[in-house]
Amino acid sequence: MSKTKKIMLVVYMVIVVGLMAFAAINGAANGTAWSLLPPVLAIVLALITKEVYSSLGFGILIAALLATSFHPLQTLNTIIGGESVVEGEIERTGLIGAVSNTAGVFIFLIELGIIVALINKAGGSQAFGRWAAKHIKSRTGAMLATFVLGVLIFIDDYFNCLTVGSVMRPVTDGHKISRSKFAYLIDATAAPVCMIAPISSWAAAVSDYANQVKGFKGQGLQLFINAIPYNFYSILTFVFIIAICVMGFDYGSMAMHEYNAMYKDDLYTTGERVDKELEGDVPNPNGKVIDLVLPVVFLIVVSVFALIYNGGFLDQSGETYMNFIDSFANTDATVALPWAGVVALVFTIVYLICRKIVTFKESMEAAPKGFMAMVPPILILTFATTLKSITNSLGSDAFIQDLMKNAGGLMNFLPAIIFLVAVFLSFSTGTSWGTFGILIPIVLPIFTANPEMQIIGMSACLAGAVCGDHCSPISDTTIMSSAGAQCNHINHVSTQLPYALTVAGVSFVSYIIAGFVQSWYVALPIAVVLMLGTLFVIRFTKKNAKYAENQDK
């Protein structure tokens, strides 16, 4: 940034902090729009400065100052490990709470990092890259293959991001697809596919939230399934990916990243340019495709089993205790995925040693390499989770509830309003699960007289939660996508934002239409046509701008 921009940024920050201090001291911070300003401020700073750690740290500081009315010692205690009351129970917040609450995710990240390092050392990734070079002939084919694999891994978004990243990275690198575009392809399939797959950790969470609403016990999964055709953001994201890959154009800052990758052999444009887990490593030339495929397939199978087992699929005697769907609704992915990762890691080590392409010593050396590769996403996730927990303690959910109740008179426009509220809340807090956890109990009772509008409203809530999560730099899925693609996090966020906002704009219009026609048979085809039409207009405008630029020269 220039010196003038830095001075202006400092002035804006001082003004914002001053206003927040006034609000906190006068007791106007809790349960108001002020409660959402710390994460919004952190996000804006990250996009301006291109520096994520200091931006998140500043957001945490402001949130803690608001929570303690700018008391310095209490602020420090809140940041490190304060406590808040959530639904009558005391929960630890701050950095200690973030590490404690996301320990399972950290373990799973490290396990996958070690598995990826082992596969790379064995030469499996390179062998898969050579195989893909023979069978996937074009950039379009490589992008579509990444998309298809992302759609197929619909069980869990964390698992999706890291698995697709490790498997497809050699393929996309070989076809000169920028890391930013690769990260977008991962991120744009991970959460959206989980949100429209009836068998996924997301479907289980949504069903559970709906079942807890008075009068809807036992209806959660059916409501989720009925809402799928109205989940415009998730469906239109898939339409967007296929169309932009086939049409072969990019816009916004993504265009520069793709140009550098294609014509300058620069996959990164800015940021880190060496994959940490590959640094200083020489892969085994005798590696085969099976050395990558078998560990990944085994990990998928054992992860599915771990999820349903943790959810109560089997009792202590090994007999079936709960059906497949209910066990998904009852599972805890932060517990199931780490133990599945342990089993898969042991299997991978034993398999590669038996294949005699990795020694026991080399497999042990992969452990710190896998851990180091995951340090950046772990740090970002810790900071982001800390910011979320302190923001939640400020009563942001109460503010959203009041906002929704005041919008009840605009019945036909309400799905579009719900979508916008969900986008803003998810973007600000970085959590889609937290967003639909707040909104579902509010949305369902609003439409009790109109079951179709009830489904549309719920779907708007879910779609908005995914959209905001997709755009937010502090979202765990966004962080995981950057980690899976080995892409600079801010590069990923800034390049995918224009794409996500394009789909969000079309989705918003589609919810206005759905609110009046109240039939997905009509609204969904119109939404798809609007999405394709928007892309054709963008492409046509871009071509005309380029032609005018050439004429001026």
Distance CA 188, CA 174 (A): 21
Picking from 489, 275, 494, the residue whose alpha carbon sits closest to that of residue 378 is 489
Residue pair 304/324 in contact (Cβ under 8 Å)? The answer is no
Distance CA 303, CA 394 (A): 36
**Residues 443-481, buried b or exposed e (16+ Cβ, 10 A)?**
bbebbeeeeebbbbbbbbbbbbbbbbbbbbbbbbbbbbb
| Helical (H) or strand (E) element with 80 | helix 72-81
Q: Where are the domains of the chain?
A: 1-81
Distance CA 79, CA 111 (A): 28
> What's the residue count for the chain?
553
Residue pair 310/336 in contact (Cβ under 8 Å)? The answer is yes
Distance CA 165, CA 161 (A): 6
Q: Helix, strand, or coil here: 282?
A: coil
pLDDT given for residue 277 in this prediction:
44
Is the Cα torsion angle 485, 205, 237, 300 positive or negative in sign? positive
User: Cα angle at 336 between 361 and 330, to 5 degrees?
Assistant: 175
Picking from 483, 382, 481, 373, the residue whose alpha carbon sits closest to that of residue 114 is 373
Structure tokens at 372: 């180091």
Distance CA 444, CA 439 (A): 9
Rg over alpha carbons for the chain, rounded to the nearest Å, is 23
Neighbours of 333 (CB within 10 A): 27
Neighbours of 18 (CB within 10 A): 10
Distance CA 57, CA 383 (A): 7
pLDDT given for residue 280 in this prediction:
47
pLDDT given for residue 27 in this prediction:
59
Q: In the chain, how long is the greatest CA-to-CA distance?
A: 78
pLDDT given for residue 163 in this prediction:
74
Neighbours of 6 (CB within 10 A): 12
User: pLDDT tens per residue, the chain (553 residues)?
Assistant: 566 666 666 666 676 667 666 666 555 566 676 777 787 787 777 777 767 778 778 888 888 888 887 777 888 888 887 665 555 555 667 888 878 777 777 787 788 778 878 887 888 877 877 787 778 888 999 999 999 888 887 766 776 787 788 778 888 988 999 999 999 999 999 889 888 887 666 776 677 677 767 777 767 777 888 899 999 999 999 999 999 999 989 999 999 999 999 999 889 988 766 554 444 456 777 888 888 889 878 987 888 888 778 777 776 566 667 777 677 666 776 788 788 889 999 999 999 999 988 889 888 988 888 788 777 767 777 887 787 778 777 776 666 666 666 655 567 888 999 999 889 888 887 778 777 777 787 788 778 778 899 899 999 999 999 999 888 888 888 888 888 888 888 899 999 999 999 999 999 999 999 999 999 999 999 999 999 999 999 998 876 555 445 444 4
Cα dihedral 295, 297, 300, 305, rounded to 10, equals -100
Residue pair 135/127 in contact (Cβ under 8 Å)? The answer is no
Residue pair 189/147 in contact (Cβ under 8 Å)? The answer is yes
DSSP-assigned letters across all residues of 332-395: -HHHHHHHHHHHHHHHHHHHHHHTTSS-HHHHHHHHHHHHHHTHHHHHHHHHHHHHHHHHHHTT
pLDDT given for residue 16 in this prediction:
67
Structure tokens at 428: 């600000």
Residue written as tokens 């405008």? 541
| Helical (H) or strand (E) element with 531 | helix 520-552
pLDDT given for residue 275 in this prediction:
53
Neighbours of 7 (CB within 10 A): 11
pLDDT given for residue 551 in this prediction:
45
